Structure 1
Amino acid sequence: MPGVESLRQNQYYAHKRNQFWDIIYGVFDEEKEEKYSDRVKFLNKKNIALWDVIKQCEREGSLDANIRNEEMNNLKDFFNKYTNIQYVLFNGTTAKRLFKKYIGFNVPTITNYYQLPSTSPANTRPFKEKLQKWMIIKELLCNI
């Protein structure tokens, strides 16, 4: 579920300290674009879909630990519509845990699931360590 700043700006990973955009551009060794619309186009060019596991929830602040009464996005229909999707990568543990709880890991078209370190500022792992784990995206896209 997007954090407070992302919801306010209506953009994925809008918090200035969230490292998602720096990491995703780093995976492809490209310069991060400033405009959000250009970032979305970048993902599309790289054949990367981005969607939340949670459709809506109650949460005070932005911490995943505060999520209550969550309602899931209809990912089963999403995967049935986009049968060319082969991999699901989770940005952190909460996304994977909720996906497993509500959807499960038996989507017929998905060959593998990967949990990556959260890009949230709450995850204090060094940037280089996170980027190294996220590099699997480049490897997976080469296999498609």
Structure 2
Amino acid sequence: MLRGFPPVVAADTHTLVLGSFPGEASLAATQYYAHPRNQFWKLLGAVTGVPALQELPYDERLKRVLSKGIGIWDVLAACHREGSLDAAIRNAQPNDFASLREHAPLLKTVCFNGKTAGRFAEVIGAAGYETLVLPSSSPANAMLSFEQKLLLWQRIIS
């Protein structure tokens, strides 16, 4: 059973970006979105006005994102999976979303990084959060260019 990471949130987090589950590169590095071709940090940097966010050391990236009121987590706490594709996820165990209110009392919006994570939008929305399903930042999602993804990701801050 693979285990994910704890949430990256603060008391003033108002927006949370949820992925599905860390890929192999992320698990090996113990960092969210560690695959070098994943566009997550580049997209988030462009959206938040932090140029070259992806080039900063990981701890600094987290600090910068948190300073913008944005948190990071995954919908799944644990699962079985061969490789990094969401389609290979088996025996999924969701994270404890009830605890979010304790750690991020100002949280209003939950964004989902891709359709797999977006399957939880209805449940999270029913808990009183605004939800937004975004195109996946994964290199496996090559249907949209970076610019096309960015247009949709900019809704995080609107």
What band does the TM-score fall into relative to the shorter chain? 0.7 to 0.9
Alpha-carbon distance in 2 for matches of 1:91, 1:122? 13
Counterpart position of 2:40: 20
Q: Does 1:88 align with 2:110?
A: yes
- Number of residues of Structure 1 aligned to a counterpart in Structure 2: 135
Counterpart position of 2:148: 129
2:134 to 113, 116, 122: 116
The verdict on how the C-alpha distance between 1:128 and 1:72 changes in structure 2, with shifts beyond 3 A counting, is same
TM-score with structure 1 setting the length:
0.88
The CA RMSD over aligned residues, in Å, is 1.5
**SS of match in other structure, 1:50:** strand
Q: Does 1:49 align with 2:67?
A: no
Q: Which amino acid in the other structure matches residue 87 of structure 1?
A: T
Alpha-carbon distance in 1 for matches of 2:137, 2:121? 20
Counterpart position of 2:57: 35
Q: Which runs of 5+ in 1 are unaligned?
A: 140-144
Q: Which amino acid in the other structure matches residue 30 of structure 1?
A: V
Alpha-carbon distance in 2 for matches of 1:93, 1:59? 17
Aligned residues with identical type, % of pairs: 41
TM-score with structure 2 setting the length:
0.80
Q: Which amino acid in the other structure matches residue 27 of structure 1?
A: V
Richer in strand (by share): 2
Counterpart position of 2:157: 138
- Which structure carries more relative contact order (alpha carbon 8 Å, separation 6+)? 2
